[in-house]
Amino acid sequence: MERSSLNTLGVYRRSLALRDMSEAVAAYFAQNREILSLRKIDSFRDDISKSLLADADLITKEVEQAALSNCPSVRMRSLSYVNIMTRNILAYCNGLERDGVKEKEYLNLLRKEIRIFRVSFKKWRKSLINKND
């Protein structure tokens, strides 16, 4: 696959939507309003927000790497990382909820976006694994 055709890949577009949603949630819940600059972390929520941003960005990068790679082992490693990072994002949502955020509807929107991404990701992962056979 070529880099120019990534935007036609559904799972890549879903990863971009997940990244955008994660950025919005992280910016909303961060107490340090400069969190998007990834400067010094001051609170638990800021730490979670930073981790949320980093993992959402890495999901997109790993999907891109898996799509562009011809090496099955690189693909499998990227697919494994994406699974780990989606679980991390769900854990960050739980952490924010336990920290007492009142706007749980934003967390539920992010959880829904993860579920949508995972459905797309599982279909795509199955096609990549079948391609390796």
Is residue 76 over pLDDT 90?
A: yes
**Both structure tokens of 11:** 């799972």
Is residue 130 over pLDDT 90?
A: no
Q: For residue range 88-115, what is the model confidence (pLDDT) as tens digits?
A: 999 999 999 998 888 899 999 999 999 9
**Both structure tokens of 92:** 């960050």
Q: For residue range 8-43, what is the model confidence (pLDDT) as tens digits?
A: 899 999 999 999 999 999 988 876 555 455 555 568
Report the alpha-carbon distance of residue 108 to residue 90 in Å, rounded: 10
Report the alpha-carbon distance of residue 51 to residue 69 in Å, rounded: 26
pLDDT band at 61 (very low <50, low <70, confident <90, very high): very high
Answer yes or no: pTM beyond 0.95: no
Report the alpha-carbon distance of residue 114 to residue 83 in Å, rounded: 11
Report the alpha-carbon distance of residue 98 to residue 56 in Å, rounded: 21
Mean pLDDT of 62-84: 93
Q: Shortest CA distance to 59 belongs to which of 94, 98, 96, 11? A: 11
Q: What local confidence, expressed as pLDDT, does residue 118 receive?
A: 96
